[in-house]
Amino acid sequence: MLSLPDFKEKQILFIKTERKSDDKIKFWNDNIKFTRNGETVNQVSCHKIFAIFLIGDLSITSEIIKKCGRYGISIYFLNYSLEEYASIAPESEGNFLLRTKQYNFCQELKISKCLLINKITNQLTLVKDPKKSIADLVNQIKKARGNKELLGIEGNISKTYFSRMFEDIGWSGRIPRAKIDIQNLLLDIGYYYLFNFIDALLRNYGFDVYKGFYHKEFYLRKSLACDIMEPFRIIIDRQLIKSYHLKQIKSSDFICKNGSYQIKTGQSLKYSEFFVSAILNEKERIHQYVKEFYYFIIGKRDDFPVFKTKR
């Protein structure tokens, strides 16, 4: 697993290909080199890369896959609309002691409540709700008898939160993955990067990311990654508002086909960088949280970790 000093040096590498170009990535003296038509575009030390997002069409060799596994580098393949179609993520599958603890953990409802309390506290802090209303909701969550009741509480809070958080940017409602407007599309993109960043961290420790607590097991759903990203969603929400206020988001960068919005080819990297920069600004605190969660599961920590947002 990565120590904090090592993790501080890690970055995310974006590689965006161009149609009709001869784009390649290869290893060169412990570096990853991206070339276009035989010319070097970028070169980064493997020791500094945490994940690579490849946007567009690019062929990779078995040697690339082998070396990325050796250095613990995750690779995600996206089309020009930033939709993932494949991924390669190394993990510490041999940590059977951790997985035994994870599978047999008997306090699922406690973890679910901790995650939800942390999430809604951060949300209501961002919209500057009175402390009394936060305390009342926390008390309501603590009294919940099961996950179904928690989901109902979360749903009610989310409606209020999203409408207040995004009221000045033309908010119409949150519908995940439907891409009904620019705001929903950008939230999907930001949450995608956050999800995979946390997923890669969890795999590094050896967790089974398909075994969750608040999010129950479902075919091919990485329920644990869904769990752990909940307190951190506000990083993306806050960045979306910031980008709107800075006038970085332009409607001319998007197109709408059959009621579904997409980013125009050539603009995807710009919007990726907004959100990834926000995540990397908090990367040390995210790493610390996952580390504390690891110690909680194996029984070396009594308190569940907490991530507190900055207003």
CATH number (domain holding residue 160): 1.20.120.920
Same domain, 82 and 101: no
Shared domain check, 111 and 17: no
Give the pLDDT confidence score for residue 80 in this predicted structure.
Answer: 84
- Check the CA dihedral 156-112-201-310 and report its sign: positive
Domain count, the chain: 2
Question: Using CA atoms, how far apart are residues 185 and 302, in angstroms rounded to an integer?
Answer: 39
Residue 263 lies in a domain: yes
Please report whether residue 35 resides in a domain: yes
| Assigned domain for 306 exists | no
Task: For residues 51 and 112, state if they share a domain.
Answer: no
How confident is the model at residue 162, as a pLDDT?
94
Report if residue 15 sits inside a domain.
yes
Q: What is the pLDDT, as a whole number, of residue 253?
A: 96
- Whether 156 and 287 share a structural domain: yes
At 37 the pLDDT is: 85
Q: Is residue 310 part of a domain?
A: no
**Residue-level pLDDT at 1:** 63
Retrieve residue 49's tokens.
Answer: 């890369």
Q: Are residues 152 and 269 in the same domain?
A: yes
Report the CATH number at residue 21: 3.100.10.20
Same domain, 105 and 18: no
Residue at which a domain ends, from 88, 116, 143: 88
d(CA 28, CA 217): 41
Q: Does residue 63 contact residue 29 with C-beta atoms inside 8 Å?
A: no
Q: How far apart are CA 86 and CA 75, in angstroms?
A: 9
Predicted pLDDT of residue 216: 87
- Classify residue 205: in a domain, yes or no: yes
What is the span of the domain harbouring residue 118?
A: 96-297
Residue 290 lies in a domain: yes
Q: Are the CB atoms for 13 and 51 separated by under 8 Å?
A: yes
At 30 the pLDDT is 85
Tell me: do 256 and 138 sit in the same domain. yes
**Are 82 and 102 in a shared domain?**
no
Contact 278, 238 (CB under 8 A): yes
Same domain, 172 and 212: yes
Per-residue model confidence (pLDDT) at position 92: 67
pLDDT tens digits in sequence order for the chain, 311 residues long: 667 777 888 899 888 888 778 888 888 888 888 888 888 888 899 989 999 999 988 878 888 888 888 888 999 999 888 888 888 877 766 678 899 999 999 889 999 999 999 999 999 999 987 777 888 999 999 999 999 999 999 999 999 999 999 999 989 899 998 999 999 999 999 999 999 999 999 998 999 999 999 998 887 789 999 999 999 999 999 999 999 999 999 999 999 999 999 999 888 889 999 999 999 999 999 999 999 999 999 999 999 999 998 76
**What pLDDT shows up at residue 94?**
66
Instruction: Tell me: do 124 and 238 sit in the same domain.
Output: yes
Same domain membership, residue 59 and residue 122: no
pTM: 0.89
CB atoms within 10 A of CB 95: 19
Strands 49-55 and 11-16: parallel
Residue 124's pLDDT is: 92
- pLDDT score recorded for residue 108: 93
Is 308 among the domain residues? no
pLDDT for 266? 84
Domain boundary among 88, 105, 132: 88
**31-36: strand order across its sheet:** 23-28, 31-36, 39-45
**Environment class of 303 (CB within 10 Å of its CB; exposed 0-12, middle 13-18, buried 19+):** exposed
Domain boundary among 88, 117, 136: 88
CB burial class (10 A; 0-12, 13-18, 19+) of residue 227?
A: buried
User: Do both 140 and 244 map to the same domain?
Assistant: yes
Q: Which residues lie below 8 Å from residue 115, measured CB to CB, with a gap of 6+?
A: 213, 214, 227, 228, 230, 231
pLDDT for the residue numbered 93: 63
Give me the pLDDT at residue 90, please.
Answer: 75
Query: Cα separation of 154 and 46, whole Å?
Result: 41
Distance between CA 53 and CA 13 in Å, rounded?
6
